[in-house]
Amino acid sequence: MFSVDEIKGVDDIYHRPGHQGYRPVGPWPNTRYPPSPQPGTPSVPKHGRLGKPMPPVFGTSCPLRGVSGAIRKWAYTFPDHQARHWLLLIFADRVEATGPRLRRLATYGAPLFLAGFGALWLGKRGAFGRAPSAGRAFVQRLPAARAIG
């Protein structure tokens, strides 16, 4: 069972990693600086701040493609301190998400729709044991209504 008393106050404020004196300023072990530039094409364009250099290392997952890619490419022409940069990226996300939505609809929604439509069609033709014509025949067997008065 956990006991607060066993751990309370173990770390004093001057010996925590965030304290400015915890680690001297300097490169980390194994650092090669400046890093050599990565060949290839980044999947993210550099955002449009004037004078921003392209960093030497970048990700390559999911390159820009299609309509959403075009919107994203446009969004990255604006710097990240401008609202339109983010709003365009959010809009592109919504556009791209329509693809999986339609696919899921095709996977689950379309068969359900077809099954429902088929059931309705079969029902109208009496496939479930109650032909609509039987109802009309029953009505026809009733005595004709007499005029009153």
Partner 1 sequence: MKAITYDGPFHVRLRDKPYPRIEHPQDAILKVTAAGICGSDLHLLHGLVPDTRVGFTFGHEMVGVIEETGPECTGLRKGDRVLVPFQIFCGGCYYCQRGLTACCENTNPASDIAAGCYGYAHITGGYDGGQAEYVRVPFADVCAEEVPEDLSDLDALPLTDAMATGYQAAEMCGLRGGETVVVFGCGPVGLYAMRSAWIMGAERVIAVDHVPYRLAFARDWAGAEPLNFREVDVVATVKSMTEDRGAHCTIDAVGCEAAGSPMQRALGIYGKLYGGSAQALNWCFHATRKGGTVSVVGVYGPPWTLVDFGTAMNKQLTVRTGQVSVKRYIPHLVEHIRAGRFDSDSIFTHRLPLEEGPKAYRTFAQKKDGCIKVALFPHGTPATIH
Judged by the rule CB under 8 A, the positions of this chain that interact with partner 1 are 2-4, 6-13, 16-18, 22-23, 25-36, 38-40, 42-47, 49, 52, 54-62, 68, 72, 75-76, 80-81, 83, 86-87, 89-90, 92-93, 96-97, 99-101, 104
**Beta carbon of residue 75, minimum distance to partner 1 (angstroms, whole number):** 8
Three-class HEC string of 106-147: HHHHHHHHHHHHHHHHHHHCCCCCCCHHHHHHHHHHCCCCCC
H or E, element range at 71? helix 66-75
Measured from the CB atom, the residue of 55 and 111 that comes closer to partner 1 is 55
Least Å distance, CB 111 to partner 1, is: 18
Min. distance of Cβ 137 from partner 1 in angstroms? 52
DSSP, residue by residue, 1-46: ---HHHHTT-S-GGGSTTSTTSS-SSPPTT--SSPPPPPS--SSPP
Q: In terms of CB distance, is 26 or 143 closer to partner 1?
A: 26
